[in-house]
């Protein structure tokens, strides 16, 4: 293998350097080609195909190099901040709108929903505080959510993306029935 390698080493270096600009990377890739060829020599079917086989290994190692060292463009610092801020503004605006909508719900749904969603109590604690069974509290919270969703969709256009609410806008002409 050593004698064949010495015969092809110069041509392989030239082949690699035409595709890779960094001289240190060219040497690393050439060394990797040698290691792969040496360890996989048993897979070579015919001695006459050695040259093509070495170039195929070189090509694959070059592709691996480019995959591993893919250049990444950095995003501008202000771009990420604008997107995050946009979502936060939508959440704040929506929160201001949700409280009055929740307050318009019948008391049997409003109280469990406020305790669970706004105060963060577990459903078991909501049941204990309101003197309900756990299934009764769960049912009222679910019904309260459904009624709130109905009111919200009647009053507002909500845009939802991968991160949750990303946009929020009051529907035109709903000022009187929606707080």
Mean pLDDT across 26-54? 81
Structure tokens at 26: 């060219």
The answer on pLDDT for 54 being more than 50 is yes
Cα 76 from chain centroid? Answer: 19
Under 8 Å between Cβ of 155 and 174? yes
Average pLDDT taken over every residue of the chain: 79
Q: Domain extents for the chain? A: 2-68, 79-170
pLDDT in tens, 106-143: 999 999 988 998 888 999 999 999 999 999 999 999 99
SS3 label, residue 161: strand
The answer on pLDDT for 83 being more than 60 is no
The answer on pLDDT for 43 being more than 80 is no
Assessment of whether the complete model's pTM goes beyond 0.85? no
Answer CATH for 2-68 from 1.10.1740.10, 1.10.10.60, 3.90.420.10, 1.20.1250.20: 1.10.1740.10
CATH 1.10.10.10 given to domain 79-170: yes
pLDDT in tens, 136-168: 999 999 999 999 888 887 877 767 766 666 666
Return the pLDDT at 119. Answer: 86
Residue indicated by tokens 């669970």? 116
């Amino acid at each position: 293998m050593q004698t064949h390698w010495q015969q092809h080493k110069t041509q392989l270096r030239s082949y690699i350097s035409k595709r890779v600009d960094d001289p240190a990377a060219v040497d690393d890739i050439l060394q990797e080609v040698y290691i792969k060829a040496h360890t996989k020599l048993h897979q070579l079917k015919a001695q006459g195909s050695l040259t093509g086989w070495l170039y195929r290994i070189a090509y694959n190692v070059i592709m691996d190099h480019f995959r591993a060292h893919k250049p990444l463009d950095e995003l501008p610092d202000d771009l990420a901040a604008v997107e995050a801020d946009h979502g936060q503004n939508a959440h704040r605006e929506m929160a201001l709108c949700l409280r009055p909508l929740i307050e318009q719900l019948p008391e049997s749904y409003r109280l469990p929903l406020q305790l669970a969603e706004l105060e963060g109590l577990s459903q078991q604690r909501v049941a204990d505080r309101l003197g309900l069974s756990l299934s009764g509290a769960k049912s009222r919270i679910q019904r309260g959510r459904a009624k709130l969703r109905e009111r919200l969709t009647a009053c507002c256009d909500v845009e939802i993306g991968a991160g949750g609410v990303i946009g929020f806008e009051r529907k035109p002409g709903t000022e009187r029935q929606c707080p």
